[in-house]
Structure formats: structure tokens, C-alpha cells
Amino acid sequence: MTDLVACLSTGKGTWGPLMKVVESPSWENVFLVAPTFFAQKFQTMRKNVQVIPIDDTKELPELIKDVQAGLSGKLFGDVAVNFSSGSGKEHMAILAALLKCGCGIRLVAHTDATGLQEL
């Protein structure tokens, strides 16, 4: 099984499509990188979902370090990544942190027409 790393943040209507990706039985573990405000509001019944809170007001280099610290030692090999929610700054921090951790990435998304798919 594969782990999923996704951004849970801003963007009108982005949580619905993201939750369809998260709810897929394909994931061994799910790591949601989210600004502290969203991390405090988000609740899930799934045991394999971990929210990694970040301070999105930080500069990008610090944000990368924070994401990397939150994911360190938890991911190995290729991981699935979803960027349907969040900002470019958050996406860059996640991508940079994953690459610094030595992970390969596979972009995944959910569409009504095809369901979960690798892009």
C-alpha cells in the first residue's frame, strides 16, 4: 500500500474532492498538511489519518523545514500526493519537503468521471 500526502487548506470547494481522495482504501497512511487553523477544525474517524499543522505565515524555507520535520521518518519510497486544496506556497513546501526526505511522488486526484486516478 502507498501513503498519501495532501494539502488541506484554502480554496472554495476543495475539501470535498480532497476527502474523496483521502477516503480511498488505497492508502496505508494519510498525512494532511494544514495551517493550524484548519488542522484544529478538521476531524476524521479514520485511524490512519494524521494532520501535520503548519504556520502558513512563515517564509517558504521555514515552512519546508516544518513540513519535513512533520513527515520525517514516516515516509519511505514513493508516495501519492494531492494538491487540490491549498496555495502554491503550501504546495511548494510539501513538494520540497518530500524530495528532501528522499521520496518519489505520484500525483493523484479524484474526478466524478474516473474516480481516483494517478495523473
What is each CA distance from 90 to 46, 78, 104, in whole angstroms? 24, 20, 18
Residue 45 has pLDDT above 70, yes or no: no
Mind spelling out the 3-state secondary structure of 22-43?
HCCCCEEEEEEEEEHHHHHHCC
Is residue 46's pLDDT more than 80? no
Give 89-119 pLDDT, tens digit per residue.
Answer: 999 999 999 999 999 999 999 988 888 999 8
Instruction: List Cβ neighbours of 39 (8 Å cut-off, separation of 6 or more).
Output: 8, 32, 51, 52, 53, 54
Q: Tell me, what CATH number does 73's domain have?
A: 3.40.50.10770
pLDDT of 44 higher than 70? no
In whole numbers, what is the pLDDT of the chain averaged over residues? 90
> In angstroms, how far is CA 93 from the centroid of its own chain?
11
- Distances from the Cα of 52 to the Cα of 72, 111, 114, angstroms: 11, 25, 29
- Domains of the chain: total: 1
- Look up the domain containing 87 and give its range: 2-118
